[in-house]
Amino acid sequence: MTGPVQSCDVWLADTVANVHIVNDPKWFTEFHVLNENINTADNSTTLQIQRGGNVEVLLLNTQQQPIRLRLSDVAYAPKGRCNLLSLGLLAKKAGIHGHWNHQGMSLLADDKSTVLTELVHRDEQSSLKRNRSCNWV
C-alpha cells in the first residue's frame, strides 16, 4: 500500500484492511490532525497517517443512481498508492454485506435485498465503478 501514488481517485475494496484509507485530503468532509504509523498488510513497512475524519463517496446502485456513502474514522495517508475501502468495517459498522465471484462484487444493504453498488474485477484487485458524469465527494 506504499509507493508511488497511482491516482487519488482510485478506490480498492479490501476484505483484510481494518481501516479506510485515503491519499488525498480532498475526500474529507471533516478531519482532525493525527500523527501515527500503521503497518501494511504484510508488515513489511509502515504507512504514516497524518489526519483522520469523515469522508463521503458517491457509489452507483444497479439503476445507475448515486448513493452517498459516509465513512467515519478514515485515515489520511499521503503516501498511500490508492484509497482503501475496508469491507470488514462496512459490515461491522453499517451491516453492509458483499457477494463476489470472478467477475466482480456487489455490496448489499443490511436487508440483503438492496444492491448499493457493484464492483468490477481489474488487475487482481477490485475497483469501484463510478458515474463518469458526476464527481465523487
Judge if pTM exceeds 0.85.
no
- CATH topology for the 11-39+47-128 domain: Cathepsin D, subunit A; domain 1 (2.40.70)
Residue with cell 453498488: 117
Domain range summary for the chain, segments of one domain joined by +: 11-39+47-128
Q: Predicted confidence band at 6 (pLDDT cuts at 50, 70, 90)?
A: low
Residue with cell 481489474: 122
| Beta strands 97-101; 66-76: pairing state | unpaired
Summarised one tens digit per residue, pLDDT across range 16-63 is: 888 999 999 999 999 999 889 888 777 788 889 999 999 998 877 777
